[in-house]
Structure 1
Amino acid sequence: MTQPLYTIDAILAATGGTSALDPATPINSITIDSREIGPDALFVAIKGDRFDGHDFVETALNNGAVAALVNRGHGDRRVVVSDALEGLRAIGRAARDRSRAIVVGVTGSVGKTTTKEAIRVVFEAAGETHASIKSFNNHWGVPLMLARFPERAQFGVFEMGMSAPDEIRPLAQLVRPHIAVITTIAPAHLESFGSLDGIARAKAEIFAGLEPGGTAVLNADHQQLAVLLDEASAAGVGRIVTYGEASGADWRILNIEIAADKYFATIDHDGERHALVLNVPGRHMVANATAALAVSYLAGIESDVALRALAGFGAQAGRGQRLRLGSGDRVLLLTDESYNANTASMNAALEVFAAQTAPGGRKVVILGDMLELGEQSASLHASLAPAVTATGADRIYLIGPGMAALADAVGAGRVAAHTQTAAEMAEIVLNDLAYGDAVMVKGSNGVGLAGIVDKIRNQFGNN
């Protein structure tokens, strides 16, 4: 018989809660969404910015949940604690305490989700792996992912994000990684930090949770590396490994080549050369894969195993996923970069799109605001103009007030349309696109460009 993820008795021991349920009752899944009830589920009624999970307890139980973790209410299928979110953290803490897995924490301004996925792919080729899903990287997402951590897993990979100082530290102290990865530093959430150095120091909070004897893995291709190195030293990090194209990087990327949408690179480590092949475009993807290669080495995985796994790695929805919509001669190529955006990821995506050709029509870029850039918003949006021009786009669509600066920089006559919202833009774009076009959609998640991507997929996915 398979060992359950938890029993009610273990939940009570972790949280200090009370319940009338049989202590031996198995719990095999944990959720905060009453619509997504897995087998033997525990529903955790946390209070969010828009919803209070306590309003959905009955729905969750009716949908098949075994029990609900609550801080108010009565009933024989409830585990009552003083605070449901803190209860979830306590379960996550218990899961981490019992685990014997190699644990990796990933943060950074750009590429943390893709790097986390690359590490996951490599780890899964070597043993049972548990990893954060989607971008569950905040104050509730990290404890939820930890709470789902099976005791039998050999590897764990957890993503940590932030929008303000002192947000990563408590997450890192929950995760307690053996390996802490910082992908890069870029102007994301700049209004909360004031400078790139401020962002770097906030990302370096991940070192506060690093296990004794743990390793920091740092991208060397940005201006704030020295800040990260200072922060690592101050935190007592004993081992630091760097990766990137920079001279002196421990895992140095050499000789990047592109052929038929594949990227080839030579990675030098301690005088040994590794041939990296990726079936996903972008120099930034090479860096993400190199981080995974470095992490796998630290985890004791053979380089051949890691390289084979990375050869099958692909981009995720919203993060560079390429979709071929239609069939035969009627095809539209859609690049979905709708999940997030800052200047570094915008420039990287635009560079990739510049190398793409349309199957028989025009090249189209649909760009939404980069959010939370503070006083530098206008200048940072305008700074994208050379990269936008270099794509060779025939049609440029811009969404959001911040994009007014980019419209001015590229010239209003070159902008096909500029709207304040994605909803306003959707109909304009759908009426203009045609089979044969190559389209890239990119912007911050809060702009809502995923809706435009869905409409394009629906309209051109079948013909």
Structure 2
Amino acid sequence: MTDQAQQPLWTAQAIAKAVNGQLHGDFTANGVAFDSREVGPGDLFVAMRGEQADGHDYITKAFANGAAGVICERACEEGPAIVVSDSAAALEALGVAARARTDAVIIGVTGSAGKTGTKEALHQALERLPSRSAHRSVKSYNNHVGVPLSLSRMPQESDFAVLEMGMNHKGELSALTQMVRPHVAIVTTVASAHIEFFKNEAAIAEAKAEIFEGLEAGGTAIIPYDNPHYGILYKKAEDCASNIITFGTSPEADCHVVDQLPAMEGGTLVTAMLNGQLLVYRIAQPGPHWVMNSLAILAGVQAVGGDLGVAGLALAEVEGLAGRGARHSLTVADGSILVIDESYNANPASMAVTLGDLGQTSAQRRVAILGAMKELGAQSDDLHAGLSAPIIAAQIDQCILVGEEMQILSEKLANMLEYKGQVAHVADSSQALDQLRTTLNAGDVILVKGSNSLGLGSVVKALTDELPADGDA
């Protein structure tokens, strides 16, 4: 394999050709960024005009942070530049050029929940293969700017790439998948996320199935057998894919669970049948959703010719991500608390699953800080009120509900005889933290989950900044 460390990610000439821009000065780039705060030494900075800020105002900062050159829409005196008419279009063109120049096997991942965790675990499973390299999307860069950014960061010599793709409107995935052109496309699940922009869940399934439209010849579609919208996904896969792999709990699924039980080390011990091959493995992350994710991950590894044994080891070590399942054991007076950070996103399905996980977690007291779920449209009240059932089933001792949309759930819980816990409804993350501090005790397990716009990650940060770690949870 070529030593990627000895050659740059991009030369200025290659960038200029890809984006049809005018080159002023020479440079080589080892990374790409469109946020000046993320620019590091040797990076290409793409100065784009956004709704809230104009990247051109941060070119000086980008060079101060070590940028090697910039893509911009005006003359640049600060350093080497490639001038284009539209920086956003240039980033897309650079991503397309990165995809065109590589022989990497590409896996695309979408779904209403589980995209990022599945992407990370797939990357870990493929990165561990001897003398092979794997690239992935970082963070949750999965939209019309995140996907071309992730592609543009892909080294030409990569053997594999795992790219996350998201959407909240019809047609978005169709455009993204034509850019990514995956060899394998995974749909983790279909649920009510972003339903404000769709007629119903079936329409969401149709939009998710757009990922199959970009499959390369001979491509593989991986779909959830147990999902209510399996038929929609399967029909689209039949039209676009050469191979279809299903995963789920049913023995009729190509990849299915044979047995599962709590593992002594934490997480779940799973016995699964994977296209006729029996495998026993442990998942470090708790919860039934991770069991389903693991089947999709292993199906993906198998589809690209990876090593299932190596993938099983990766699943045993995969850690929760910040905002997406990270666990923090923190010291308080007379003991410790466990903080489960799910603060990045929330929809009705992921809320129910995560509350179920909390209910299975041993605790003196279970506390749920739940933020409003966004983009639910006319169904918002019903879907928020519907969280009462998983809250009661999980025996949550205290609910701190954040945001205007949570008022209806607060009122419902307060009037339900079945709910024995305490309820507080607050306006924002700061008030949620204040409320938690008044009742915090040793032995608490605290779930923090909500739509990212509420900023509930600040609650997790405040706790981890103020309280000493008590070892990794």
TM-score, normalised by the number of residues in structure 2:
0.93
Kindly indicate whether the alpha-carbon contact (under 8 Å) linking 1:430 and 1:456 is maintained by their aligned counterparts in 2.
no
Q: 2:250 maps to which residue?
A: 246
Describe the superposition over 1:66-113 as per-residue Cα deviations: whole angstroms up to 9, x where unpaired.
211001233352210111111111111111111111101000001011
Q: List aligned pairs for 1:14-413, cutoff 5 A.
A: 14-22=18-26, 25-75=27-77, 77-126=80-129, 127-234=132-239, 236-260=240-264, 261-326=266-331, 330-358=335-363, 361-412=364-415
Letter in 2 for 1:268: M
Q: In structure 2, what is the equivalent of residue 451 of structure 1?
A: 458
User: Alpha carbons of 1:67 and 1:404: their partners in 2 closer, same or farther (altered >3 Å)?
Assistant: same
Give the residue type in structure 2 aligned to 1:112.
Answer: K
Match of 1:425 in 2: 432
Report the counterpart of residue 2 of structure 1 in structure 2: 6
Q: Counterpart amino acid of 1:408?
A: E
1:175 partner amino acid: V
1:287 and 1:328 map into 2 onto residues whose CA distance is 38
- Per-residue deviation, 1:462: 5.8
Gaps of 5+ in 1: none
SS at match of 2:37: coil
1:244 partner amino acid: G
What amino acid maps onto 2:134 in structure 1? Answer: T
Distance across 1 between alignment mates of 2:309 and 2:294: 14
Whichever residue aligns with residue 430 of structure 2, its letter is A
Structure 1 residues 116-136: Cα deviation after superposition (integer angstroms, max 9, x where no partner): 111111111112111001101
Deviations 1:272-329 (A, max 9, x none): 2110211210010111111111111111112212112221112211112211012795
Q: Does structure 2 retain, via aligned residues, the 8 Å contact 1:115–1:288?
A: yes
Code of the aligned partner of 1:74: C
CA distance in 1, matches of 2:50, 2:269: 44
The size of the alignment, in residue pairs, is 458
Structure 1 runs (4+) deviating above 4 angstroms are none
After superposition, what is the alpha-carbon deviation per residue over 1:416-450, rounded to whole angstroms, capped at 9, x for unaligned? 31012223222122232133211111111122211
| SS in structure 2 of the partner of residue 211 of structure 1 | coil
Quote the Cα distance in structure 1 between the aligned partners of 2:395 and 2:252. Answer: 35
Q: 1:176 to 1:462 in 2, by over 3 A?
A: closer
Residue type at the aligned position of 1:404: Q
- Identity level (%): 40
SS, match of residue 19 in structure 1: strand
What is the CA-CA distance between 1:397 and the residue it aligns to? 0.9
Over the residues paired in the alignment, what is the CA RMSD in angstroms?
A: 1.7
- 8 Å CA contact 1:264–1:275 kept in 2: the answer is yes
Deviations 1:202-260 (A, max 9, x none): 111111211111111111121011011122234x3221111111341110112121134
- CA distance in 2: counterparts of 1:179 and 1:232, whole angstroms: 11
Rounded Cα–Cα distance in structure 2 between residues aligned with 1:326 and 1:213? 53
- Which amino acid in 1 is paired with 2:60? E
Which AA in structure 2 matches 1:368?
G
1: distance between equivalents of 2:152 and 2:338?
39
Offset, 1:453: 1.3
Asked whether the 8 Å contact 1:184–1:221 carries over to 2, the reply is no
Q: Kindly indicate whether the alpha-carbon contact (under 8 Å) linking 2:323 and 2:457 is maintained by their aligned counterparts in 1.
A: yes
Contact between 1:370 and 1:444, CA under 8 Å: does it hold in 2?
yes
SS at 1:257 equivalent: strand
State the Cα deviation string for residues 382-414 of structure 1 (Å, max 9, x = none): 222121012222211111222222223322584
